Amino acid sequence: MTLILSNDDVEKLLTMGECIAVMEEAYVELADGRGVSRTRSDCFTPTARADALYSLKSMDGVAPKLGVGAVRINSDIVTWPKRGNAMRREKVAAAPNNRYVGLVLLFSVENGEPLAILPDGVMQRMRVGAANGLGIKHLARNNAKSLGILGSGWQAGAQLMAACAVRDIETIRCFSPNPQSREGFATAMSAVLGVDIIPVGLAEEAIEGADIVMCATNSIDNVFFERWIEPGMHLSSIKRPEIEVKAVKRADRVVIHWNDPTPIHVAAKDVVIEEKVAGRGWQLAEEIDFHKLPTLPQLVAGRAEGRKSETDVTCFINNIGLGYQFAAAGSLVYRKAKESGLGHEVPTDWFTEDVHP
């Protein structure tokens, strides 16, 4: 039987601690070249809405030690709204019942069979959190206690869960432009983490004196600037453009998630990808040679150096996601789902065939 799992199922099965542990194991395999990950690809075409594009995104990865191959697919209606000068990338919930479309398919490395199909949302959030959590674990000061976070969305929550899983965080300050968002986030996440989160009205207030600064926004513009850096800080970002180039260059130690090229973009004629036109998000790739930076798998596997002193400024940029992360987290979720009996079972024969294709 093949399992159809929901985000609720994944939320029950995938704890941040376990997610970080399985990722850590998997990254060693990836650093050794035993695991494989295929560069993400994005196909863009026009869609029904004139102010949006259709985007079909996919990424694959295989974690042989964990026995799982994964394909993650996003079928999105994408817009790039502006709020003042800031540009964001926003998906439209255009599917029936106002829903988004992201899927993970898990396959057995042993016999090829489809093990499970599930929405990508919760797993996506947890694996981004786990990667930045591993960045903190291997780069931030051991005694890091205070944390400032920019952003109060869905990803920001997982970022805090990950930080608290690897360091004894005592104080958290959160800035995001919308007072209601940051206050709601602070209340909700304080309850989840058992740590008081203080919403603040300026980015600087969140950052000043923080041992760890986490950027967790939808912004494709810079949100953290060099002038805010303090000795010993660890900087963490979930996407390329959040930390300005000058700040990245100022850090003593910069580690990226993975040194693949930028995603493969295949765009239909006359399609305008707004963030590219605006030159946003691509500046970092131009000014910093990603191929020369050490990666998180290398760091985790002990093949790249981490922090050398208490005053070093360290920086982890989660520059690109990996299909491989879904194979690793997927192996854990699948095993636990089987043990607990969660999910809908459908006949595996529906997704296999008797002809040699």
Considering only residues 132 to 171 of the shown chain, the ones binding a copy of itself according to CB under 8 A are 153-154
The Cβ of residue 21 has, within 10 Å, a number of other Cβ atoms equal to 15
DSSP code for 263:
P
178 belongs to the binding site for a copy of itself (CB under 8 A): no
Nearest residue (CB) to a copy of itself, 32 versus 204: 32
Rule CB under 8 A: is residue 354 a binding residue for a copy of itself? yes
Helices (H), 235-295: 245-250, 274-277, 283-287
Q: Does 73 bind a copy of itself (CB under 8 A)?
A: yes
Piece of 27-35, 80-88, 142-150, 301-309 that binds a copy of itself (CB under 8 A): 27-35
Q: Which of 117, 195, 278, 285 is close enough to bind a copy of itself by CB under 8 A?
A: 117
285 is an interface residue for a copy of itself by CB under 8 A: no
Is 48 near a copy of itself (CB under 8 A)?
A: yes
For 175-213, give the DSSP string: E-S-HHHHHHHHHHHHHHHTS-EEEESSHHHHHTT-SEE
CA distances from 144 to 180, 217, 236, 300 (A): 28, 22, 13, 19
Least CB distance to a copy of itself at residue 278 (A): 21
Select from 69, 129, 148, 151 the one that contacts a copy of itself (CB under 8 A).
Answer: 69
Under rule CB under 8 A, residue 325 binds a copy of itself = no
Handedness of CA 47, 59, 120, 223 (dihedral sign): negative
Our CB check for a copy of itself shows the closer of 94 and 198 to be: 94
Among 56, 193, 195, 278, binds a copy of itself (CB under 8 A): 56
Q: Toward a copy of itself, which CB reaches closer, 292 or 356?
A: 356
Select the residue interacting with a copy of itself from 50, 84, 85, 96 (CB under 8 A): 96
238 lies in the site for a copy of itself, by CB under 8 A: no
318 near a copy of itself (CB under 8 A) = no
The two three-digit tokens of residue 7, written as one number: 């985000």
273 binds a copy of itself (CB under 8 A): no
User: Do 172 and 182 meet the contact criterion of CB atoms below 8 Å apart?
Assistant: no
Q: Quick check: 76 binds a copy of itself (CB under 8 A)?
A: yes
**How many Å apart are CA 181 and CA 65, to the nearest integer?**
41
The residues, any chain, with a CB within 8 Å of residue 204's CB and separated by 6 or more, are 228
* Run of H or E residues at 123: helix 121-139
Across the strands, what pairs with 317?
A: 237, 256
Binding footprint of a copy of itself, residue count (CB under 8 A)? 80
275 forms part of the interface with a copy of itself (CB under 8 A):
no
Judged by CB under 8 A, the chain residues 243 through 272 that form the site for a copy of itself are 264, 266-269
Please identify, using beta-carbon distances, which residue of 32 and 252 lies nearer to a copy of itself. Answer: 32
Q: Which of residues 47 and 146 has its CB atom nearest to a copy of itself in the complex? A: 47
Q: Residue 151 contacts by C-beta under 8 Å, 6 or more apart in sequence? A: 159, 174, 176, 214, 215, 216, 217, 218, 223
